Chains A and B, each alone.
Chain A
Amino acid sequence: MSGPSSYVPKLGIAKWLDARLPLPRLMYDSFIAYPVPRNLNYFWTFGGILMLMLVSQILTGVILAMHYTPHATLAFTSVEGIMRDVEYGWLMRYMHANGASMFFIAVYIHIFRGLYYGSYKAPREVLWILGVIIFLLMMATAFMGYVLPWGQMSFWGATVITNLFSAFPIVGETIVTFLWGGYSVDNPTLTRFFSLHFLLPFMIFGVVILHVWALHVTGQNNPTGVEVKAVAKDTIPFTPYATIKDAFALVLFFAFFAYFLFFIPNYLGHADNYIPANPAVTPAHIVPEWYFLPFYAILRAVPDKLGGVLLMFAAIAVLVVLPWLDTSKVKSMSYRPLARQCFWAFAVTCVMLGWLGSRPAEGIYVTLSQLFTALYFAYFLIALPLLGLFETPKKLPGSIAESVLGKMKGGSGAVVGAAASAEPNTKG
């Protein structure tokens, strides 16, 4: 997207550095001169929000790790110590625990943005897949983090999730023993989860860099799904336009975060996790954290153990192949009348699955889980592949500029379907 670099170092030291390690140039080209489509809406601010949430988790996490003791007999007490004895320890822990939820709220909005505007389609397949990898790493990180306070939900959540792997024939039991480092979830499990929980966020950081790199090669998608045709007309520089918009959205998001943090810090958690882990008693109603609920519902919808586990993993794997399942060349759902309705039905399906995941697995809830699981997969495997063949899209604007400024000023009069012809890009 970005053409040749327009960076001109002014200071002597900047010139000196530019000839040796052009880091300021990279920053300038990526965050100041970088051209962004002029029609981006607020759904495009969540990438920046996610970046800051990751930083927030790492900062609070490093502090927590200074006061936390990864041992089955001490973990719970040490977390209570953070809450009561460490100055502002309560703030660090609540920021970290609620931060994880905020992180997932942001990532779900970010993902649905991509689904609605077709951001997964060519030429952004790799960008999209890197996103799915980040999502997987986030789930692994959050799952292992939730085990660390070693409360009842920590312990039984860990037991149920690690036991998922026992569903695999032959090797299942061995995998689970190696995950546990014993014959049940116990101290060895806690210590290895702590080590991995510390490591994974930095791996996420690495994949985020690749994600942004891929983004800067293809350029951003936009609400019309029409690719940038003329940089001068269709884009505006990142700074100040995108910078201020991102910053404004970020402040609003953090105000929302702060409301949870200061007024209802335990709303998204479970009271049972304030009871120390007891391997002899399972809480009557165990549920995962809210952000795992849709997948949990899919797991329980299948009466067969292995089948349930496979379908749950498939629910995420299907996202990886999505770029090749959607046969339509038109990216944005705004121009796809039928697909757009399917999209909203899909969004409702996900919310319903989330709700069902929080219900006990009996009676009508099981039937409904099965129905919505079928609808979840139908969106990817039936609706998107077929609609591209039958649906007549609405007429696309000729260019991004035309969609914003009207035909007179931006008009290039391109035809429907031209969306796929991306401008050839040179460097990141």
Chain B
Amino acid sequence: MAEAKSSPASEPTRRDMLFLATGAMGAAGVVALAVPFVRTLAPNAQTIAAGAPIEVDLTPIPEGQGIKLFWRGKLIFVRSRTKAEIEEAQKVNLASLPDPQADSARVKPGKENWLVIYGSCTHLGCIPGGSAAGEVRGDYNGWFCPCHGSHYDTSGRIRKGPAPTNLPVPPYAFLSDTKIRIG
């Protein structure tokens, strides 16, 4: 910079002062402006509002089968589990799981026959098959993701394949024996 020549005593000049002040102001301005630009990419008010809670009637779901529904743009599985499926889910040795979680932590007490989970594979977001009768359910009788071969068990826990975590449980509550509210 110029100061080496213009002020041999290397004393800051007024131009240095101006340079620093302008630079700092400019940098602060760029950062302040970047924030609104990036914020525009976030989910907008309408998308967030579409996340209002929904109620689901469970009566039409036959035992051993499930339904799919959307909440907040995300797919949710609701499955009516058979006795055998519940037992299978409960007696697993937790230490053997990639993402250890007891079945009891994934269902509501006394309502073990209802499993409510997000339906997007935790690997890269495909929809695992196994909800409807006749779909491939994988090695653990739950769900199977065709994209890269993740196997989920009857509790929606990852057992085999590239997916890192279990299918998460969305926030929901039982309103009555046959009705839940998601959200």
Interface of A toward B, CB cutoff 8 Å? 156, 159-164, 177-184, 186, 188, 192, 279-286, 300, 303-305, 308, 360-362
Contacts and interface: CB of A to CB of B under 8 A. Distances in A.
A203 to B, nearest CB: 17
Contacts of B183: none
B162 A308 contact: yes
Contact of B127 (A188, A192, A282): A282
A362 B43 CA distance: 36
A176 to B, nearest CB: 9
Interface residues of B, number: 28
A279 B75 contact: yes
Given A163-B125, A181-B41, 17 more contacts: A159-B125, A160-B124, A160-B147, A178-B42, A183-B72, A184-B73, A184-B75, A280-B127, A282-B127, A282-B129, A282-B145, A284-B146, A286-B146, A304-B162, A305-B124, A305-B163, A305-B164
Given A160-B147, A188-B43, A300-B148, A183 B74 contact: yes
Interface in B46-68: 47, 51, 68
What 10 pairs across the A-B complex have the smallest Cβ distances?
A: A163-B124, A163-B125, A282-B126, A184-B73, A160-B124, A282-B127, A159-B125, A182-B47, A178-B41, A183-B73
Contacts of B129: 282
A279 B70 contact: yes
B178 interface: no
Contacts of B44: 181, 188
B130 to A, nearest CB: 12
Given A188-B44, A281-B127, A286 B147 contact: yes
A337 to B, nearest CB: 41
B43 A181 contact: yes
Nearest to A162: B125
Contacts of B120: 184
Contacts, number: 83
Contacts of B105: none
A178 to B, nearest CB: 5
Contact of B148 (A181, A188, A281, A361): A361
B118 to A, nearest CB: 10
A282 B147 contact: yes
A361 B126 CA distance: 14
Please indicate which of the listed interface residues B41, B43, B125 has the most CB atoms of chain A within 10 Å of its own CB: B125
A220 to B, nearest CB: 40
8 contacts: A156-B147, A160-B147, A163-B125, A180-B43, A181-B41, A304-B164, A305-B163, A362-B149
Contacts of B74: 183-184
Contacts of B124: 159-161, 163-164, 305
Interface string B90-118: 00000000000000000000000000000
Given A280-B68, A280-B75, A303 B162 contact: yes
A177 B42 contact: yes
Given A181-B42, A183-B73, A282-B146, A305 B47 contact: no
A357 B164 CA distance: 21
Contacts of A280: 68, 70, 75, 127
Contacts of A285: 146
Contacts of A181: 41-44, 47
Please indicate which of the listed interface residues A160, A177, A186 has the most CB atoms of chain B within 10 Å of its own CB: A160
